[in-house]
Structure formats: structure tokens, C-alpha cells
């Protein structure tokens, strides 16, 4: 029998799961969440929206197709930790350059395997997300890496989890946004769009370029004057981690530019638009994370299967004067998944239409954005506004 180094997952409520070490040997602390995707572990790990979180993968076997540089969604992993029922030390995939464990060791991702992830997910669904600590025995006791943690050690890790800073009320975009602006020139000389980087994924930039947009990515704190100085045709508000409420600088920017530029928001960008219009957001019990979330398009009646990663949602009823109108709703819990401004060419969705990983049902939204920009420049009137008034189907 192969001996495995011991590890634990200690939650702030006192629950302790005992398993085995994987990845970088060490300790880590963060908010424990779960993702129901069956593939895409590398994209999940490198999504900046997971900054501050320990991610549990519900699919029981992770790592069998290795890691490929082409699947990176940022320059490094942003997850605080990773949890699986079983990680694979071997891989088979012609695209892969290295194993998942080697990748985790390279970037310092502390992980645990061998625990009952079904029980953990039920705990999170029932009680809501909690803070937790992953600790490897070999990190603190290398001479006894295969031994059990003592009750006193487990209690200390529970206390550490409980004392860790909450994501609520904390601006986490500062840790993931670009330090300097950069551009992605396109051969087609597309419409220039400023992308506010709150934790943007590489695939989003690529999808925008594919529909004829020349993306210019700027830091989260870029001012309205600095954005307009770039003479853009549109504005994009990206995804990102954590609570949208503390990002008052972003609310102000979105508020000032809403009437000046066609605007598209995704995930955190969607929430920022809601707050910019005077609305409120709320933290969900366990959020939506996975590639199988059903969303109804209220403009067409179609149901889209979507990729999602968020723990906060917009309360549409809190937005004054009916400034935004619902365009999409989640069929599992009825939460708002998309909205459009009642007067300006501004729209947003709570999910990830770039689908990396995930289904492609919602990629049309990138085409809609370029259509809005073209109509705005040509003075033809917003196609989305016509759809909201019943003029056409979208």
C-alpha cells in the first residue's frame, strides 16, 4: 500500500476533513466554494475571479488531461487552494506540457484530495460558503508527514479560518488588475473599446477581438477622463473577484460614462452597473459556479446553458426609476442574470459568455456588443432598445 502525506481541511464552523496532500506543500486560507464543471480545472484555477477562494471541484477525478499553456486565463493561478476527491498524478493529452501536480508546485497552489467532496458540497449548500484552511502535515512536521494531526492542531486551524478576513467589504480587484494599460491590436483595425480590468480573463479579450473590436485594457482605477482621452467607441466592464460594493471608484466611472458610450458588463461588471445606477447587491448563500447553469432569455424565450462564477447578485428591484430592465433570469433560483438600460445602449450579464470552460450558447452577446457600437456610431438607434420595445427579436 502506498503511503500518502496527510492533510486536513479545517472550516471556521469547526468541521474538519482529513485527507492527503497534493500540489505545493504548505498551508493556505480562504473562502471555500464549489464548482460543478466536469472539465476546465486549469481555466478555473487561473481565473482571477477566484482570488481569495479555495475551490472544491465536484467532479470526482481531476487532472487526467494535464495542463496546457494555451488554456491559461491569466498569467498564474489565483485560487487560494484546490480540493478534489481524487487528483491524477498521470495525464494523457497531446496538448499538455505538464502534470497538474507539477503545475501546482510551480505556482504554489496548496491542495487536498481524498476527502468526501459530496459531504463538503452538501455542507456548503446547506449552510452557505465558509472560510477554511488547507494544511499539509509535511509542511509543519516533515519528520512525520504521514502522521495524523492532533486535536489541538486541528482546533488551531479552525480558529485560523474563523479569524481570516472576510471577502465581504474588501476590494479584491487591487490584487488582480493590470498595473499598466495594454492593447491587443487587430489586423482588421476594429472598433476601439476600453476594457476596465477588474480581473479579466484572456478568453474574453480574444472573443472581443474576434468580433472586430480592438481591445485596450486599462487598470481598474482608470478615470472617466483617462478613458475618454483614448477616444473609444465603447466600454467593457470585466469580471473580477469578491464584493462589488466597495468598488466605489468603478461605480462612479460607470455612472459618468453610461450615457456616453455603448457599454457591456460581465459578472462583476454587471454588478458594478447595477450599483452605478443606484441599486444594491447581495451575497448569495453559495453562489453559482459551474458550466451548467440554465438561464432564460426574456427577449426570445430561449433557455441558454451558461458558465458562471459569482457569489453576489444584483437586486433589480432596488434600482430606482426602472433604469434597468431584466433581460435574463436564472431558472434554478430566479436571480437576475442579465439586464439592459432603458435609455442607453448599456447591457450586462451575470454569467460568462466567453465559455472558457463551458457551453457556447451565449457567445452571441459579443456580436450584440459590436452591433450596439456600430449603431451608436451610425446614429441608427440601438438594436437592443428596439428589442426591449418589441421592435425585433434578439
Catalytic one among 101, 214, 233, 267?
267
pLDDT at 381: 66
CA distance 370 to 111: 41
**Alpha-carbon torsion 207, 209, 214, 216, what sign?**
positive
Tell me, what's the pLDDT at 387? 72
Does pTM surpass 0.75?
Answer: yes
C-alpha Rg value of the chain to the nearest Å: 22
pLDDT, residue 40, reads 95
Burial 118-128 (b: 16+ CB within 10 A, else e): eebbebbeeee
Query: For this structure, is 267 an active site residue?
Result: yes
The pLDDT, as a whole number, for residue 294 is 97
Question: What's residue 393's pLDDT?
Answer: 44
**Residue 381: how many other CB atoms lie within 10 Å:** 12
User: Binding site residues for L-glutamine, as ranges?
Assistant: 49, 240, 242, 268, 271, 309, 311-312
Residue 346 cell numbers, joined: 448599456
Q: Which parts of the chain sit beneath pLDDT 70?
A: 1-2, 187-189, 378-381, 385, 389-394
Residues in the annotated binding site: 49, 240, 242, 268, 271, 309, 311-312
Asked if 339 contacts 348 with a C-beta cutoff of 8 angstroms, the reply is yes
Do 233 and 193 contact (CB within 8 A), yes or no? Answer: yes
| Distance of alpha carbon 20 from alpha carbon 25, whole angstroms | 11
* Active-site pick, 304, 354, 371, 372: 354
Query: Distance between the two ends of the chain, CA-based, in angstroms?
Result: 59
pLDDT of residue 187: 62
Report the distance separating Cα 383 and Cα 345, nearest Å. Answer: 9
Contact between 272 and 239 (Cβ < 8 Å): no
> Is 27 designated active site?
no
Amino acid at each position: 500500500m502506498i503511503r500518502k502525506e496527510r492533510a486536513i481541511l479545517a472550516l471556521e464552523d469547526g468541521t474538519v476533513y482529513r485527507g492527503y496532500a497534493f500540489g505545493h506543500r504548505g498551508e493556505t486560507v480562504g473562502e471555500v466554494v464549489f464548482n460543478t464543471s466536469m472539465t476546465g480545472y486549469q481555466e478555473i484555477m487561473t481565473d482571477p475571479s477566484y482570488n481569495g477562494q479555495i475551490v472544491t471541484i465536484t467532479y470526482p477525478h481531476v487532472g487526467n488531461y494535464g495542463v496546457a499553456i494555451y488554456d491559461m486565463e491569466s498569467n498564474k493561478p489565483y485560487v487560494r487552494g484546490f480540493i478534489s476527491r481524487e487528483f491524477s498524478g498521470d495525464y494523457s493529452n497531446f496538448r499538455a506540457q505538464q502534470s497538474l501536480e507539477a503545475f501546482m508546485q510551480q505556482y504554489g497552489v496548496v491542495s487536498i484530495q481524498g476527502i468526501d467532496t459530496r459531504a463538503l458540497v452538501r455542507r456548503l449548500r446547506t449552510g452557505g460558503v465558509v472560510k477554511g484552511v488547507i494544511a499539509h502535515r509535511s509542511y509543519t512536521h516533515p519528520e512525520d508527514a504521514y502522521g495524523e494531526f492532533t486535536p489541538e492542531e486541528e482546533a488551531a486551524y479552525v480558529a485560523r479560518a474563523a479569524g481570516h478576513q472576510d471577502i465581504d467589504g474588501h476590494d479584491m480587484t487591487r490584487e488582480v488588475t493590470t498595473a499598466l494599460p495594454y492593447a491587443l491590436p487587430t489586423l482588421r483595425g476594429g472598433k476601439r473599446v476600453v476594457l476596465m480590468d477588474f480581473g479579466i480573463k484572456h478568453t474574453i479579450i480574444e472573443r472581443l477581438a474576434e468580433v472586430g473590436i480592438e481591445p485596450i485594457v486599462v487598470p481598474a482605477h482608470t478615470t472617466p477622463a483617462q478613458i475618454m482621452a483614448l477616444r473609444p467607441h465603447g466600454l467593457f466592464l470585466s469580471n473580477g473577484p469578491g464584493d462589488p460594493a466597495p468598488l466605489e471608484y468603478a461605480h462612479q466611472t460607470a455612472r459618468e460614462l453610461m450615457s456616453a458610450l455603448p457599454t457591456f458588463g460581465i459578472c462583476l461588471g454587471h454588478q458594478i452597473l447595477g450599483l452605478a445606477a443606484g441599486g444594491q447587491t447581495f451575497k448569495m448563500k453559495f453562489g453559482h459556479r459551474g458550466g451548467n447553469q440554465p438561464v432564460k432569455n426574456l427577449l426570445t424565450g430561449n433557455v441558454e446553458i451558461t458558465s458562471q462564477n459569482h457569489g453576489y447578485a444584483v437586486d433589480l428591484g432596488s434600482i430606482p426609476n426602472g433604469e434597468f430592465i431584466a433581460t435574463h433570469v436564472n431558472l434554478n433560483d430566479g436571480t437576475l442574470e442579465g439586464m439592459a438600460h432603458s435609455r442607453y445602449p448599456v447591457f450586462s450579464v451575470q454569467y460568462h459568455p466567453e465559455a472558457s470552460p463551458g457551453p457556447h450558447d451565449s457567445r452571441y452577446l459579443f456580436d450584440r456588443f459590436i452591433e450596439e457600437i456600430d449603431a451608436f456610431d451610425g446614429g441608427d438607434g440601438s438594436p437592443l432598445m428596439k428589442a426591449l420595445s418589441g421592435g425585433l427579436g434578439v
